[in-house]
Amino acid sequence: MEHEFCALQANKTWTLVPRPPGARIIIGKWVFKHKLNSDGSLERYKARWVVRGFNQRPGIDFSETFSPVVKPATIRTVLTLIATHAWPAHQLDVSHAFLHGTLSERVYRQQPTGFADPQRPDDVCLLSRALYSLCQVPRVWFEHFTKHVISLGFLQSRADTSLFILHNGSVVAYLLLYVDDMMLSASSPALLQRIVAQLRQAFAVKDMGPLRYFLGTEVLPQPSQVRRRTVRSRRDEQLQDCHHTG
């Protein structure tokens, strides 16, 4: 809980203000869960301060809410390109992703339970950043992320708006986004690391290393040497079959 509260404050998620007369104050609650690894083992304990977004009023506290996610067909296509060209691919995770988006609406909420300012206990939080369970949060985060990666030189795919492509001469990179999970592949390890460093300048990005598991799909890289031996052995078998047939 302390780690979550510190992250909210470091991100300047809200400003304490006197309670406005007649304003709707959205209440919140603490939510706890176990964060698991892909094999089902415990990674860490997780606490989130979330608001009760169902108390928001359409047209007042929020407007648009839809946020796209990467399509399964796009994931398979990019994995095929990675396997064909033997490009490096990493899985990335953004910590506190939803806290990066900037709100355009005026939204008030209560101070987090157990962490109210003792000097200003009756004040409320005027949100300047998105917060978990707000209706518009996924859309706000996606729009913020999209603007940043486009500034890095990526183009947003017309076929799938959650696919971002960097293509400049011989330089190629593919970035897939699913909420706060990313898959990044580039034509060289140096390019991949450069993009990760650029993303870290704006977001709390965690590089989880070479791609092993992404959205229910397990990835098992096969060394190029083994692949070449496999292709060669199959070709030899075909030639032997042709020889015996002749």
Mean pLDDT rounded to a whole number for the chain: 83
Q: What percent of the chain has pLDDT over 70?
A: 85
pLDDT at 90: 94
Within 10 angstroms of residue 8's Cβ, the number of other Cβ atoms is 20
Domain boundaries, the chain: 2-224
Which whole number is the average pLDDT over 220-229? 53
Per-residue DSSP letter, 63: S
Exposure letters 80-116 (e unless 16+ CB within 10 A, then b): eebeeeebbbbbbebebbbbbbebeeebbbbbbeeee
Q: Average pLDDT for residues 15-27, to the nearest whole number? A: 88
DSSP per residue, 171-212: EEEEEEEETTEEEEEESSHHHHHHHHHHHHTTS-EEEEEE--
- Give the integer Cα–Cα distance in Å for 207 and 89: 11
Which residue is listed with tokens 């953004």?
Answer: 94
Residue 234 in this model has a pLDDT that exceeds 70:
no
The whole-number pLDDT of residue 32 equals: 94
Specify the pairing of strand 181-186 against strand 89-94: antiparallel
Q: Tell me how far apart the alpha carbons of residues 138 and 232 are, in angstroms, rounded to a whole number.
A: 48
- The string of pLDDT tens digits covering residues 155-202 is 999 999 999 999 988 889 999 999 888 999 999 999 999 999 999 998
Q: Is the pLDDT of residue 228 over 60?
A: no
pLDDT band of residue 59 (cuts 50, 70, 90) is low
Which tops the pLDDT comparison, 38 or 230? 38
Residue 209 in tokens = 């290393």
Over range 63-80, report the average pLDDT. 85
Pairing of strands 25-26, 28-36: unpaired
More confident residue, 215 or 199: 199
Sheet holding 155-156, edge to edge: 155-156, 163-168, 171-178, 181-186, 89-94, 205-210
C-alpha 139/C-alpha 98 separation (Å) is 9
